[in-house]
């Protein structure tokens, strides 16, 4: 500094990592910001419980915010838009976003996948397959058998 006073600000690496996680950076980006490789960061996370806890807990807040935003889009919402002149509000308009079916489908598929996934798994046992195969075979034979003249007429 120009006045001859030197200031040293202690840097807490845990606070730095926590801040980077909270703003939504992924491991690769955090490693790059710290000047290490992603593998080195992963190794540190496995060895340091405090660091692992930061990754676990600090990411919950942005995840919650995104979840809430997605939910609002899915069900629709209203908000106030304030127009200002010279820093003072002059007009307040209530705007409305209609529900977004894409957001609703995404929400439902992730929150209740057993009910809302695109496909349904149907479990068919070997016994069921054999039974269906026998029925199909019997129907096929029945269709191909035509009564001949003189067969009991």
How sure is the predictor about 121, in pLDDT bands with cuts at 50, 70 and 90? low
Tell me the pLDDT band of 53, cut-offs 50, 70 and 90: very high
Pair 14, 51: CB distance under 8 Å: yes
Q: Which residue has the tokens 């200002």?
A: 84
Average pLDDT value over all residues in the chain: 82
pLDDT mean over 133-140: 64
CA pair distance 55, 16, nearest whole angstrom: 12
By C-alpha distance, which of 61, 47, 55 is closest to 16?
Answer: 55
Provide the pLDDT for residue 52. Answer: 93
Cα 30 from Cα 124, distance rounded (Å) = 47
Tell me the pTM: 0.49
């Amino acid at each position: 500094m120009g006045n001859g006073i030197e200031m040293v600000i202690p840097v807490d690496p845990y606070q730095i990592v926590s801040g980077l996680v909270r703003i939504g950076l992924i491991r690769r980006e955090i490693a790059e910001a710290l000047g290490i490789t992603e593998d080195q960061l992963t190794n540190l996370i496995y060895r340091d419980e405090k660091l692992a806890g930061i990754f676990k807990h600090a990411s919950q807040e942005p995840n919650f915010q995104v979840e809430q935003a997605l939910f609002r889009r899915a069900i629709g919402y209203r908000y106030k838009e304030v127009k200002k002149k010279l820093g003072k509000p002059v007009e307040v308009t209530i705007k409305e976003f209609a529900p977004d079916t894409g957001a609703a489908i995404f929400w439902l598929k992730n929150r209740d996948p057993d009910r809302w996934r695109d496909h349904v798994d149907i479990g068919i046992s070997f016994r069921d397959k054999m039974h269906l195969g026998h029925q199909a075979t019997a129907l096929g034979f029945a269709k191909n058998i035509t009564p001949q003249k003189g067969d009991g007429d």
